Structure 1
């Protein structure tokens, strides 16, 4: 057309076409710019909605803190950190927006920027600084914020939480993230992109806070069975001793059976209860340990160790003769003390006259003075020592032994047997205690026919040579009498026996 001569009308039409094309181009550009402004306003509204959601979540945290501060505090503190991290990023981005607005200027009446299509303002603020640009700095802050937020939750759960903060450089090409996002974009587009990043920051705060709020009760067990339980240390109490029991509700899940192991062996479980059974043939205190394993709602298996002990006692019956409660002087008197329902090792006994030694229900009493002795019994019950009663015993001397010569006290004895006897002995008959007596003195009288009586005293239990010589001459019909007998007991006391010995030789 340049080589064709145009009429004035044709030149006017061409000029109007160019103007129309320019106007059309201008209208399209304004529509796009207006669209950016609309998107930016929508993003700001979304950001406000996220902010309200975040506030509501923190209010829920505040309520949880009032109900269970110990359980809630670790999650509440992390939610506060998430709020701090995202607010720092949000504030930094807001500062970048202000810088761009200052470059292009603001219309005070409309509140919009004066030059929304300015292609240099964003570059000037984010990309044209010497050293590290603010665009690169923004990228680093986005990455840092994302890492800090992820650090607030367990690594195993990070795939469950979406944190929409991305600032990664493209895998291909020389351009960095900041250039891809902000290079040569209109001012209104740059502001819209920054508003989008602010929305992402608030969205990330909401995601983390919601996860943390849910995590407070994530590991709580769910129960559908409630049963009353009464647990008492013992079902046997003494008069004056308080009976105590813990009364509470037990909770269980009928759809999940626990695993109960005792001493390494798995027990059968019915109705969420395992029954442990053990049989022993020897009395004593036995202990067992175990673990209850329960799958928790978060998928982990919780283990709850336990230990318990119990006492096995042999069946006993206490039978006593009321008129035979006697303690003997000079011997070890065995005493057994037991209290039904109380372990023997918890029982204590004492005596008011003499001494009492031993323990665990078995004692030895020694007394030295005739009369009475009182044994008092106490036991440790419920952490305190309680008096359980007393028993009075009569204290007597050991019955006198029977003096014997040739194994007899009276009667007849052959001459041949009499002639070989070494001495005189004292024997304690029908007495259960181990008590020995030694003859320390005696007088022997031998009455013989047609001869004077033989009389001599020995200072021990052994016959003197003269006594042996006299016994060698005895014959049938002679009488051997032993009198004035003194003995010494195992307790060191000396006594004279009332009973003597009278034997006829045959």
Structure 2
């Protein structure tokens, strides 16, 4: 289409498409960025778990050395282990400081929400971590040097470490299997491959992964050293108590699922597992946990933080039990209850108010049951459909799923407004203001407001069942008033007696309403009177 002239309207439509595309891309970006935040939190948790396990290894080494009489060779190995711990803390501390400095450089966090102000920004990240194009002056280059110096220093502490540990852990793209043959990446250096075109949240997750790599390096080094002072730990490639949850945020009434396991390569161990939330099913060394999540103390955002604890016990090669403990935080999110009805804002007294109550977060697991204060609840034909019949000024509807309370919805209750009374002659309403000739028949109808007919049509059926018609001349009635018990009545006898200046006086004595059950009751309308002038 290049070269064709476009009208202003066509150019405007094209611009709208571009804006819409950008908005859609922004929405996708937000969802992806949120995942990076969860990844970063998970990696940070993994670092803490790994370092705690390493601290236990070091404490076990100290005890073993003391039990063996503080042999000089054992003390030398213990000193190396302490040096490994110290160098690891320094390296992780450096990365943590760099994380904090990067956050500050990119605008910091919102003081109210704690969220990153510029989590999606990558220009400032590149400027800080890589530096101006071609300068290689960014902080990532010093980080690469420090990471490799850390690895080299640890590997050179002992011959056994040199045989099992790499001396370079911060690599160029050309040194990495996944990138070295990729024409788009193989020429990139460490800073570019990690922080090029990378939003802030992703950069933080990358640095968390570097911390886990450092923590794994520490764990491996301590394992190698500990083996030289006696088998103070079970010979695994890695020992960590781990928890993997399908989701950290779950809706009340849904099933929380998590896997708790000992990250070990040995097939000779049968661990015993327990948790504070119920039994743990152990299969092939992996523990499976399931329990119904529930909440009763939600914050203003509808979330409640909770924790559960687990324990994994194994026998070491020396025959004694060792227990690893883990604590996992999860968040119970209050499900949103959606009420669909023509009368969502309020209910009507003694009427069958039809509601559809859904909880989208529960999906196919939604198994609703309902109870109410000051109302009768009648189950409908479809899942979530109910009829509420209020009997007081306020109704509290409790919504549960599978026996778990989801929440309580509160409704004010209104009285039905009085129906309108209209008098017809045939199919035309009497003109009570102007008057006219005396009709030969009259019909009295009671009609609910249109909004009531739309909201609760089965409770908006009215019928005039008693009314009285009088032909009056001056101050005196002409003849006997006609008492009527049907909606339509023949008044030919009045028409034959009527003279110009006379009046028809119509008084409504009783109106009945039929409710959704097909039962009738008196409608409280008073005794409205209508006057029709005959001329």
- TM-score in terms of structure 1 length: 0.39
- TM-score in terms of structure 2 length: 0.37
* Bigger Rg, which one: 1
